[in-house]
Amino acid sequence: MNIFVFSDSMALMVELLGGARELAGNGSVAAIVIGSESQAQQAIAVGADVVYWLGEQGNWMVDDFVPTIAKILADQKPNVLIAGATIRGKAVVGRAAAALDTVAITNAKEIRSIDGSLLLSRMIYGGGAVTVQRATGDLLITTVGPGQFAAVAADQSRDGEIVPIERIEPVIKITKLESKPKQTGSSNIYAAKRVVAVGRGFAEKADLQLARELAAALDAELGYTRPVTEGTPPFAEGEPYIGVSGIQIKPDLYLAVGVSGQTQHVIGVNEAKIIVCINNEPKALMFRHSDYGIVGDLYEVLPELTKALKGV
Ligand SMILES: Cc1cc2nc3c(=O)[nH]c(=O)nc-3n(C[C@H](O)[C@H](O)[C@H](O)COP(=O)(O)OP(=O)(O)OC[C@H]3O[C@@H](n4cnc5c(N)ncnc54)[C@H](O)[C@@H]3O)c2cc1C
């Protein structure tokens, strides 16, 4: 099997290449890289046999690369394109699929190769069910988010070929007028072994300080439910939220505070090793998903827990 990988996020590309390598078996894995030459080399170190190198992004938008990517796929005819399920990644492969008169199946949770055909699992009905789809065309285009595949350790001595690709100017090019860094926290939630999740049980934005203190005592990162990041007003705007439409993580410890435990949220963390919750409502769904639970008011429990963890 001949698998191509594309992502505008290099961190995600590394994971996708790990998964592609496993799926490909004795087949080949190629990466489509927009970035520096050292990033192209990094793609080889973590699993690509060939890198189609489109050069630095410069003043182009990722979307402007669609005609170039579609041409690579048309010329090279891979069996599969696995793209990073980022906002730009989905936009690019959706348009590339349309250009090639095929479809893109987004947000795969699992891709399996059985008897030469590919089976792809993805969640539907807001995470209430999983559908398994079989690819029937010549080219399967799909997107996969972070945390689904394990990256392989980089091996700088791996052999691989970098093929520089001339960009095709899109018919309608987007003009970038300005770029500014996105206002997000310094969360490293994907790599975190421990996560404290903030739910709508926190009454005020300022109260999140209680969660920050608990997270610091636990050496944990903060995660959020969707209403906390996107509600009105948002308490943690721009921060990652966990769930079916957010991120999926697999920490060793997940401590949900003031989180009700709706499926759409829990689906993003149900592979955590240990789940603990703190909720003042004994019938909250979150208790059913938890290994341990504390029934109590977070405003009383959190300061005590933080104090106990700090040993003061
Ligand atoms: C299509 C779709 C996709 C969605 N995708 C996502 C997603 O990806 N991620 C996501 O998170 N949500 C998602 N949602 C929303 C989801 O259904 C829930 O509404 C959301 O997860 C609830 O967030 P919450 O638990 O913070 O708030 P609530 O449901 O309001 O729960 C708050 C909890 O805090 C408890 N509480 C209140 N006060 C205290 C206190 N003082 N001490 C202790 N506990 C207290 C309450 O008992 C309650 O259980 C989606 C919904 C839809 C329809």
Which atom, in ligand 1's list, is nearest to the CA of 284? Answer: 49
pLDDT at 123: 83
Q: How far apart are CA 42 and CA 13, in angstroms?
A: 10
Q: What is the Å distance from ligand 1's center to 125 Cα?
A: 17
With 60 as the cut, is the pLDDT of residue 186 above it?
no
Domains, the chain, ordered by start:
2-164 (3.40.50.620), 189-310 (3.40.50.1220)
The one-character DSSP state at 20 is: H
**Is any ligand 1 atom within 6 A of the Cβ of residue 4?**
no
Window from 175-184, 187-196, 204-213, 270-279 with minimum mean pLDDT = 175-184
- pLDDT band, very low/low/confident/very high, at 187 (cuts 50, 70, 90): low
Minimum mean pLDDT range among 86-90, 111-115, 126-130, 143-147: 126-130
Of 137 and 300, more confident: 300
**pTM of structure:** 0.74
Q: Cis ω on the peptide bond leading into residue 233 (within 30° of 0)?
A: yes
> In ligand 1, which atom is closest to the CA atom of 244?
8
Check if 294 has its Cβ closer than 6 Å to any atom of ligand 1. Answer: no
Span from the CA of 212 to the centroid of ligand 1 (angstroms): 19
Model pLDDT, residue 150: 87
Residue 312: pLDDT band with limits 50, 70, 90 = low
* Distance set, CA 60 to CA 10, 170, 177, 183, 193 (Å): 17, 10, 11, 22, 36
Task: For 186, list phi and psi in degrees, rounded to 5.
Answer: -100, 30
Q: Is there an atom of ligand 1 within 6 Å of 297 CB? A: yes
Which residue, by CA, sits nearest to atom 23 of ligand 1? 225
pLDDT tens digit sequence for 296-309: 999 999 999 999 99
Q: How far is the CA of 284 from the centre of ligand 1 (A)?
A: 10
CA of 106 to the centre of ligand 1 (A): 25
pLDDT at 37: 96
Dist CA 308 CA 304 (whole Å) = 6
Where does the pLDDT of residue 185 fall: very low under 50, low under 70, confident under 90, or very high at 90 and above? Answer: low
Average pLDDT of span 91-119: 89
Closest-lying ligand 1 atom to the alpha carbon of residue 256 = 25
When pLDDT is cut at 50, 70 and 90, the band that residue 143 belongs to is very high
* Eight-state DSSP code of residue 168: P
